[in-house]
Amino acid sequence: MSPNRPRPGSRASNVDIDLEVVPVRAASGPGTETIIELSFKTDTQDDARTLRDKAIGTLRSKGWLAPADVLETDLILTRY
| pLDDT exceeds 90 at position 61 | yes
Residue 11 has a pLDDT of 52
Task: Give pTM, 2 decimals.
Answer: 0.59
Q: Which own/partner pairs from 50-53 qualify as long-range (CB within 8 Å, at least 24 positions apart)?
A: 51/15, 51/17
Do residues 37 and 22 make contact, with C-beta atoms less than 8 angstroms apart?
yes
Q: Mean pLDDT over all residues of the chain?
A: 79
Render 46-76 in DSSP notation, one character per residue.
HHHHHHHHHHHHHHHHTT-S-SS---HHHHH
State the distance between the two ends of the chain, measured CA to CA, in whole angstroms.
Answer: 46
User: Does residue 62 register a pLDDT over 90?
Assistant: yes
